[in-house]
A and B are shown apart, each in its own frame.
Chain A
Amino acid sequence: MPAPPLLPQSSWTRRTASHLLSRGAFSGTPEEHEAFYQLGNTSGVAAAVDSLINQTADLSANPLPSWLEGFSNGDFEGDAELPYLYRESTLIGWFYQQCRHGAPVAAKMWKFWIDHFPVQIATSPFDTRFVVYSRYLDLLRQNAVGNFDTLLREVSWSEGMMAMLDLQQSQKGRVNENFGRELLELFTLGVEGGYTESDVQAAADAFTGRRFRSNPPYTNFRHEAYLDNQIGLWDAETSTWHPEQYTYIDESEKTLLGETLPSLERTLPGDPRITRGDPNEHGELAITIILNQPQTARYLVEKIWRYFASPEIPPTILADLADRFRNDHNYEITPLLRDIFLSAAFYAPEAIGTQIKDPVDLIISSQKMLGAADTGIATTSELFEELGYVLYAPPNIAGWPEPDGEGNQWLSTGSMMFRLNLHSLFTHGERSLFQRSWRIPDASDAPYSSEFPFPDFIDLNALIPKVVRDPKDAALLIDHLNDRLLPFHRLRPDQRRSLIQHIRRTRSGSDLEGVYREVIRQIASLPEFQMQ
């Protein structure tokens, strides 16, 4: 199957370049936009696309929170004095730093999978939840731009998802349908994706008996037990593992999506041959059957397209991309992204500048465009929370709203008001934006924390070059800020005029810098700033 029609070199413009940098990454300074455009201009569109997707995550620059690395025997041993909220904040900070400074495409996909496979940390037992959840985040990160087949199987065995959807407790004769249903409805085929209630039942039955050790002898965060999931029982009374107890597995023949999962006929009762990775295990077989459905590739391609490109994928593009994703790329994610970013349809005029930023895109693109300092763990956590994005607490198993334009669910009236006010944090240090300032700041939160003196949050010298700093040059300044802050939109003539007048009205001797801060805030607060 050939790739969808490519973007012609002649269509590589500053606008299309900025579009890719905004969607495939987290936007950037004007200098970064210009350099990216020049790269595609001199070396070709493919070179620009590859420069984005070939960046690999540099973990050394982005280490796990240090308290995770030394774990032993449950979360709080040895680190008991580390407050719960501080742990939460550091996980958010880890994620934020990857988005802010890591490989951008991988970070965007990491964010996508956190949403696609959402796990609520509190579904895991209290004393191990940080280990379980951090491992889960790490699993999604490591597979973010890898292979969907691998990722799906990893998720299906993960302690995080098994706890989230009750798989840990589901057994033959006492089946819990939660995982089976969402596997079909949310993870692979989509609602109305061609399955029936009996397929839900069969999928639920297929995953019975999977267990992880609920009170494992962790020696550290990366202990091998993580890779040692198997079918069997953990007997908490005697602290022993009973892989031989197969009574929890529904071994009977099942029909899923018209395919047969053959009965697991054992020669010996308790034959321990069915472990993780055995292709005959019914959960593994179920995933194989599901991945063979063209609808699975279609569902994922549509969703990934909505995430990066636009609400409606043209039908022929969908058919091409889905076919290539499943048959040519074998569910490898990076080649799919390459197909998308190279396609002319990705750059359709109606797609450019028409996506509402999600909370992460909004914060990071704001910081890049304004040249604002990184926010620390507590500040970032509070910003994300006010915007409706609490990493470890998705609203439900469908995850967070998608960033599509039609009736965008990110924007309630309340969160819109927060978005309008947001930039007063960067321009004026407006700390009262946070109602719940109970998070514990650390050094990373300087200069935003109230623990520290009022600093320069933004680099006004960079934002307002000397040559346009005289109020007489107000028109030039406003145009400059327009280019910088609203790369896809022009201010309306009346907006432009009223901002120019506002600067010109400044009386001599008054606080000109304060006026400029306000002008920046006003532009960044316009609805157009919410678009990418």
Chain B
Amino acid sequence: MRRNPIHDLPGASRLTRRDVLRTSLLGAAAKFTAPAFIGEGFLNQAMAASDGPGSADGPIVLVVQLTGGNDGLNTVVPANVSAQNASSIYYDERPNLAVPASSVLNLSDGFGLHPALSSLHSVWGEGDLAIINGVGYNNPNLSHFASTDYWHTAQPNAPVRDGWLGRFFDHQCSGTGGCEPTIGVNIDSRPNLAFFSEEGTAGISMERPDAFRWRDEDYGYQVEDPTMESLYRRATGIDHPLVSGISGTDPALAYVQQAAQSAMISSRTVKCALEAGATTFPTSSKWDDVEDNNYFARRLREIASMINGGLNTEVYYVEQGGYDTHADQIDPNAAIAALGGRHNQLLTELNEGLDAFISEMKAQGNWDRLCIFTVSEFGRKVIENGTNGTDHGAAAPVFVMGGGVNAGLYGSLPNLNEANRIKNDSLAATVDFRQIYKTVLQQWLGVPSGNISQVLQGTPGSLPTIPFLNAFS
């Protein structure tokens, strides 16, 4: 399949990348070639600036994607929820899989967290965790790939090819003379559809910041003037006064050329930030407790080091994979089955990573700048399957954490009753996920309500925000 299966909808009219380039090439290229943009002066200016896009003390959003479809019912457990018989249905439908009510970490209204999420429970106790129940969208698609795309584009069941964060970056960067690609950082070796936009120039994806640099060292000849790096930058069009370096006729080549320019430019910025923060990181000792094979925590640590170095990034995006728990979600041989198995392991790693990261942010004094929230392409079915696991479902809860959060439970648990389920035992959404996006954009990232429709294209303007988040100040 293609990564963006929405391309293949029959009869869908679509903007091709060629069209996009035809209309926006000049703007995009101009951004990259404007000397003010790439000069070191701009970099230092941006890093010293105290406000505007990409400042060193502005708001930061961290999106945590739980890839594979997290089982919401075993994460925020309806342990003692009498309304609509939720608890009795939950325990009836999951005889082997349910988290016992006696094990959960109590929240309120009869809900409890999976016991692996102890640090999130502490954040709850400190008043910095909001949980929104029943998040999804109408007519859910149970394919990982289609549904992930919908969460990325924020346009469910529509054939679009740009992402909500890419449109946000365009919004932030237009009319300001451009901004650096590092306004958005996706910690992944693969790109993220959520970062795609018509301008296509802001936001970067990389896995290891320390290795993210042009190799130009110790070859022992001719590195005075021009340096090999400057020769190469000029060849790609970055420092060239007249040449954009971006093909106007071949969209695929243009894409690679933009990626090369973005890599050359943003790698300098990242290197600068890592060097700036090298002597003061890490601040929290909790990183020492993180298991070596917790790759999610390792990625959070990289993000923490860039925040520490003052990188001018507004949105970080990180993924924890493995949530497609069709089998061995629990361990039937464990004393308490739901406290063993893969889901417990995943939540333990999530908990451990977030614990160290939050502690680090507090020690750095950056906690009040942060809004962390989780996304997942779907939840899982109400019923357990035959292999100690759960199959693809629909609505599920979302976590929001940060200094500006109004703690509490929001949304509502979908009716678990068989008659109310959709798509073979899945839960119908009670909250549209774009309400979360809208709230974060307006309250935290400062997008004026009148501009929300630019970023959340196709979202009905009437879709309300949810009061889980104060305005960033």
Chain A positions near chain B (C-beta within 8 angstroms):
165-166, 169-171, 173-178, 181, 185-186, 190-192, 197-198, 200-201, 303, 306, 350, 353-356, 388, 395-398, 401-402, 404-418, 420-421, 424, 428, 430, 432-433, 435, 489, 492, 494-495, 498-499, 502, 506, 510-511, 514-515, 517-518, 522, 525-528, 530-531
A178-B391, A401-B3, A414-B206 known, 12 other contacts, Cβ within 8 Å: A166-B326, A197-B424, A356-B255, A401-B190, A407-B193, A407-B255, A413-B206, A413-B263, A421-B215, A498-B234, A526-B235, A527-B236
CB pair A197 B142 closer than 8 Å? yes
Check A428/B259 contact, CB under 8 A, given A176-B327, A413-B204.
Answer: no
Chain B residue nearest to A429 in the complex (CB): B219
Question: Do A528 and B253 touch (CB < 8 A)?
Answer: yes
Q: Which residues of B contact A498 (CB under 8 A)?
A: 231, 234-235
Is the pair B145, A406 in contact by a Cβ cutoff of 8 Å?
no
Nearest residue, chain A, Cβ from B232: A522
Contact B231 A191 (CB under 8 A): no
Contact indicator B267/A417 (Cβ below 8 Å): yes
On whether the beta carbons of B253 and A531 are closer than 8 Å, the reply is yes
A412 touches B189 (CB 8 A): yes
- Can you give 29 A-B contacts (C-beta < 8 A)? A166-B387, A166-B389, A169-B386, A169-B387, A170-B386, A177-B391, A181-B142, A185-B1, A191-B146, A353-B253, A354-B252, A356-B256, A396-B68, A398-B3, A405-B250, A407-B161, A407-B255, A408-B255, A413-B262, A414-B189, A417-B206, A428-B219, A430-B215, A489-B253, A494-B240, A495-B235, A498-B231, A518-B222, A527-B259
Beta-carbon contact of B387 and A435 below 8 Å: no
Most central of B16, B210, B242, B391 by chain A CB within 10 Å? B391
Residue of B nearest to A414 (CB): B206
Are A511 and B220 in contact, CB atoms less than 8 angstroms apart?
A: yes
With A355-B252, A492-B243 known as contacts, the answer to whether A514 contacts B221 (CB < 8 A) is yes
Least Cβ–Cβ distance between A308 and chain B, in angstroms: 15
- Nearest CB in chain A: distance from B388 CB, A: 8
> Given the complex, which residues of A lie within 8 Å of B424, measured CB to CB?
197-198, 201
Quick one: given A414-B207, A417-B213, are A192 and B5 in contact (CB under 8 Å)? Answer: yes
B273 CB → nearest A CB, Å: 15
Task: Check B260–A191 contact: CB distance below 8 A.
Answer: no
The 6 closest A-B pairs by CB, nearest first: A174-B386, A405-B252, A414-B206, A412-B205, A413-B204, A191-B5
Which residues of chain B come closer than 8 Å to A414, judged between CB atoms? 189, 204-208, 211-212, 263
Most buried by B among A191, A353, A515: A191
Shortest distance in angstroms between A301's beta carbon and chain B's nearest beta carbon? 13
- Asked, given contacts A421-B214, A525-B232, whether A191 binds B190 with beta carbons under 8 Å apart, the answer is no
Given A186-B1, A191-B146: A176 in contact with B326 (beta carbons within 8 A):
yes
B1 touches A408 (CB 8 A): no
Verify if B385 is at the interface (C-beta below 8 Å from A).
yes
A401 vs B9: C-alpha distance in the bound complex, in angstroms?
19
Please pick, from A176, A192, A354, the residue contacting B253 in the complex, using a CB distance under 8 A: A354
Q: Which residues of the other chain, A, contact B88 by a CB distance below 8 angstroms? A: none
Partner of A412, one of B8, B191, B220, B260: B191
- Chain A's closest residue to B381 (CB) is A177
In chain B, positions 154-199 with a C-beta closer than 8 Å to chain A are 161, 181, 186, 188-191, 193, 196
Contact A185 B143 (CB under 8 A): yes
Alpha-carbon distance A510/B387, docked complex (angstroms): 69
Whether the Cβ atoms of A409 and B3 lie closer than 8 Å is: yes
- A173-B386 CB under 8 A given contacts A191-B143, A414-B189: yes
Q: How far is the CA of A166 from the CA of B207 in the complex (A)?
A: 30
B78-92 CB mask vs A (1 if < 8 Å, else 0) is: 000000000000000
Complex CA gap A305/B440 in Å reads: 42
Most buried by B among A166, A388, A502: A166
Residues on the B chain within 8 Å of A197, using CB: 142, 423-424
A424:B215 contact, CB within 8 angstroms: yes
Contacts of A174 in B (CB 8 A): 385-387
CA distance A200 to B143 in the complex (A): 11
Q: Is the CB of B362 closer than 8 A to any CB of chain A?
A: no
Are B251 and A191 interface neighbours, CB within 8 A?
A: no
Question: Which of B10, B242, B424 has the most C-beta atoms of chain A within 10 angstroms of its own C-beta?
Answer: B424
Which residues of chain B have C-beta atoms less than 8 A from A499's C-beta?
Answer: 235
Q: Are A409 and B214 neighbours in the complex by a CB distance under 8 Å?
A: no
Q: Does B286 contact A (CB under 8 A)?
A: no
Mostly helix, strand, loop or mixed at chain B's interface? loop
The listed residue (B10, B256, B259) touching A531 by CB distance below 8 A is: B256
How far does the alpha carbon of A191 sit from the alpha carbon of B232 in the complex, in Å? Answer: 42
Closest Cβ of chain B: how far from A322's Cβ, in Å? 14
Minimum CB distance partner of B216 in chain A: A424
When the two chains form their complex, are residues A522 and B190 in contact, meaning their CB atoms are under 8 A apart? no
Cβ-based interface call for B308 (8 A): no
CB-defined interface of B213-252 with A at 8 Å, one 1/0 digit per residue?
1110001111000001001101110001011000000111
Chain A residues whose C-beta falls within 8 Å of the C-beta of B264 in the assembled complex: 420
A-B pairs with beta carbons under 8 A, tally: 228
Determine whether the beta carbon of B250 is less than 8 Å from that of A354. Answer: yes
> What A residues does B387 contact at CB under 8 A?
166, 169-170, 174, 176
The docked-state distance in angstroms from the alpha carbon of A232 to that of B134 is 41
B1-48 with Cβ < 8 A to chain A: 1-5, 8-10, 16-17
Interchain CB contact (< 8 A) of A417 among B263, B327, B385: B263
Is A405 within 8 A of B235, CB to CB? no
Which of B189, B228, B259 is close to A522, meaning CB atoms less than 8 Å apart?
B228
- The answer to whether B8 and A192 touch across the interface, beta carbons within 8 angstroms, is yes
Verify if B343 is at the interface (C-beta below 8 Å from A): no
B residues within 8 A CB of A407? Answer: 4, 17, 161, 191, 193, 196, 255
Contacts A166-B327, A530-B256; is A388 near B1 (CB within 8 Å)? no
With A176-B385, A406-B252, A531-B253 as contacts: A510 and B221 at CB distance below 8 Å: yes
Which residue of the partner chain B has the closest CB to A491?
A: B235
Judge whether B231 and A402 touch: CB under 8 Å: no
The interface residues of chain B lying within 8 Å CB-to-CB of A525 are 232
Query: Is B144 an interface position by the 8 A CB rule?
Result: yes
Distance in angstroms between the alpha carbons of A510 and B212 in the assembled complex: 31
CA distance A417 to B269 in the complex (A): 14
Q: Say whether A527 contacts B146, CB under 8 Å.
A: no
Q: Roughly how many angstroms separate A177 CA and B205 CA in the complex, as a whole number?
A: 33
A413: B residues at CB distance < 8 A: 181, 191, 204-206, 212, 259, 262-263, 266
Within 8 A of A (CB), among B252-306: 252-253, 255-257, 259-260, 262-264, 266-267
Q: Are B220 and A388 in contact (CB under 8 A)?
A: no
Chain B residue numbers with a CB within 8 Å of A515 are 221-222
Contact between chains at B222 and A514 (CB < 8 Å) = yes
Q: Is B392 close to A, CB under 8 A?
A: yes
Contact between A435 and B211 (Cβ–Cβ < 8 Å)?
yes
Q: How far is the CA of A176 from the CA of B326 in the complex (A)?
A: 7
CB atoms of B236 and A526 under 8 A apart: yes
**Bound Cα distance from A340 to B256, whole angstroms:** 26
Least CB distance from A256 to B in Å reads 15
In Å, the complex CA distance between A408 and B17 comes to: 11
B253: min CB distance to chain A, Å? 6
Decide: A522 near B231, CB < 8 A? Known: A175-B386, A176-B327, A402-B2. Answer: yes
A496 to B: closest C-beta gap in Å: 10
B111 to chain A, nearest CB (A): 28
Known: A166-B327, A514-B221. A412 touches B252 (CB 8 A): no
Query: Hey, which chain B residues are within 8 Å of A428, CB to CB?
Result: 219
Q: Judge whether B256 and A412 touch: CB under 8 Å.
A: no
Q: Is the CB of B256 within 8 A of A527?
A: yes
Give CA–CA (A382, B454) in the complex, Å: 42
Instruction: Quote the shortest CB–CB distance from A426 to chain B (angstroms).
Output: 12
Residue-wise, chain B 359-375 has the 8 Å CB interface mask toward A (1 for contact) of 00000000000000000
Docked complex Cα distance between A502 and B189 (Å): 34
A354 to B204, CA, bound (A): 23
If A174-B387, A435-B208, A498-B231 touch, whether A190 touches B1 (CB-CB below 8 Å) is: yes
Q: A430 vs B389: C-alpha distance in the bound complex, in angstroms?
A: 47
- State in angstroms the CA–CA spacing of A527 and B246 once bound together: 10
